[in-house]
Chains A and B, each alone.
Chain A
Amino acid sequence: MTPSFDDFVAEQVTPLLRYATVLTCDPHLAQDVVQEVLLRAQQKWDRIGSVDLPHAYVKRMVTNEYLSWRRRRAAKDVALCMTTLESVTPPVGDKTHHYDEREAMLQRIAKLPRKQRAAVVLRYYENYEDSEIAQMLGCAEGTVRSHISRALATLRLDHTPEPAGVGLRLGEGLS
């Protein structure tokens, strides 16, 4: 049975926003992208609602919207702005990490070219296989592997070891 558009939105708006936030590294842009996509999905709901997995289809729309949004605005990478992020959700004080490597990594991820970033998000956040990422991005699996390989090379290259004595995690437990 085709779910109603309102039911779909009620169930999927948070997962879509979460995915868009990770994809765009910008909660405000994520809101804009998800709004645009849902407006369009609503207009085509008779068709979209009748496919096997409407949420997978709409998620793909979010990916495409993000990629084309950036093309349309053509200007620059939407760099990760921690002030912006923190104004939306204030960070929780991290009592155990004097220096948080994750924040530094987020800033590096935000600077990746858009397709590389999308591929990285789909691989490491959504845990998609190469074939699934290729389908989502509309490219060959080899291209996906290339995107991810280049992204990781950049992220490794940009990784500057933190000052001695401040970067150790409590218990050194990350394995």
Chain B
Amino acid sequence: MNDTEQLVKDALGKLAERTPHPGPTLNALRRKRKRHRNVFMIATAGVAAVAVLIFAGVIASDRYSPPSGSDAAAALNTDNGQTVALKYAPHWLPDGFVENFRGTNDQVSRVWVPAGDKGYPFTDGKPTVVLGTSAELPDTTGWDSVTVRGLKAWVRSGAGQSPGETAHVVWKAQDVLNVEVRGVGDVRGVALQVAESVRFDTKLRHQPPFKIDGRFADHVWGATASAWEAMTNWKNQVSVHVSPQQPELSGQTQPIKVRGKDGFRTGNTVSVLDAGVWIWASAESYSDTVLEAVNKVELVSSPDTSWIGKKL
């Protein structure tokens, strides 16, 4: 996408924020529908029959004929649950930031870090920009009131769990959204600028590399499209991972049959190379559940990891 196209996209997103409140449209619709019914009553009484006919001719005419089911289906992307809707994207980030992490399932989180930074698990206090959704607004007592794209929002900055100052912005669009920024100059200003750039995008979707029991991997992260790892916590007992890179495991290794292949058991971890990726699962103590978890992993044939390490 070149500069002009990006500017067009940006401008249209800004224009969308000027969408009028639906109240007047709904009221007008109600009034017109009521008037429409009244006109028919008058027509029934035989008064102003010609006017009614004209009204019906003009207003009730309809040049649309419903499309076939397949036509309508083709009008939008449907994926039968093969991907996760991300729904929101920032259209501005500090220079040099690339996407490093996506968390999905219950809520969505996306994280950008400076190119080359390790990123996940984000415990080093290095610069990060996070965009996420939340189930509900947090308690904003003591936060500063601001606006984000015309919507009421709240911002606060201060020390977080990680080193360095962190700024949080929260607001309610179609969902409750939050932006978190740390490790850059003027965290508050940057957080507000990122928040201002966030837009809804129905076509923004994410395909994690595996599912287990019908649930996608919660977390996917990496440095490049070919160096990634996906993880989920299964049954709150077993940590299940998939990656093209072999896991670094220490301890005595024993062979074990898993997924119909020759795998390994190393302490409380079972690992196996299958379809070009390593699948492994660990728990606090070893049980058949660990083996079951690896067996239950459903790999996605062509996972989309092209977003890893990319700028906007």
Contacts and interface: CB of A to CB of B under 8 A. Distances in A.
B32 A40 contact: no
A116 to B, nearest CB: 12
B7 interface: yes
Contacts of B66: 44, 47-48, 50-51, 57
B61 to A, nearest CB: 8
Interface string A89-132: 11110111000011101100100000000001100111100001
B145 to A, nearest CB: 13
Contacts of B150: 89-92
A39 B74 CA distance: 25
A56 B16 contact: no
A102 to B, nearest CB: 4
Contacts of A31: 20, 24-25, 28
A22 B72 contact: no
| B interface residue count range (under 10 / 10 to 19 / 20 to 34 / 35 or more) | 35 or more
A56 B22 contact: no
Contacts of B62: 40, 43-44
B15 interface: yes
Interface string B131-157: 000000000000000011110000000
Nearest to A93: B147
A39 B29 contact: yes
Given A31-B24, A34-B25, A89-B17, A155 B10 contact: no
B54 interface: no
A145 to B, nearest CB: 14
A172 interface: yes
Contact of A53 (B26, B76, B94, B148): B76
**Which residue among B18, B76, B193, B201 has the maximum number of chain A CB atoms within 10 Å of its CB?**
B18
Find the residue from B5, B33, B62, B64 having the highest chain A CB count within 10 A: B64
Interface string B1-44: 00011111111111111111010111011001100100000000
Nearest to A56: B75
B275 interface: no
- Interface size range of chain A in the complex: 35 or more
B28 A35 contact: yes
Given A40-B62, A56-B72, A17 B12 contact: no
Please classify the interface of chain A as helix (H, G, I), strand (E, B), loop, or mixed, using the class held by over half of its residues.
Answer: helix
Contact of B6 (A57, A91, A174): A174
A95 B193 CA distance: 9
Given A17-B25, A31-B20, A159-B4, A106 B15 contact: yes
Interface in B55-73: 59-60, 62-64, 66-67, 69, 71-73
Contacts, number: 176
Contacts of A103: 11, 14
A102 B11 CA distance: 5
A175 B312 contact: yes
A162 to B, nearest CB: 12
A14 interface: yes
Contacts of B8: 105, 109, 120, 124, 152, 155
Given A9-B26, A31-B20, A57-B72, A101 B15 contact: no
Nearest to B14: A102
11 contacts: A31-B24, A35-B28, A38-B29, A40-B62, A57-B75, A89-B17, A101-B7, A120-B12, A169-B92, A173-B93, A174-B10
Given A57-B64, A89-B150, A175-B95, 12 more contacts: A14-B22, A27-B20, A31-B28, A35-B32, A38-B29, A52-B69, A52-B72, A53-B73, A61-B64, A92-B148, A102-B14, A124-B8
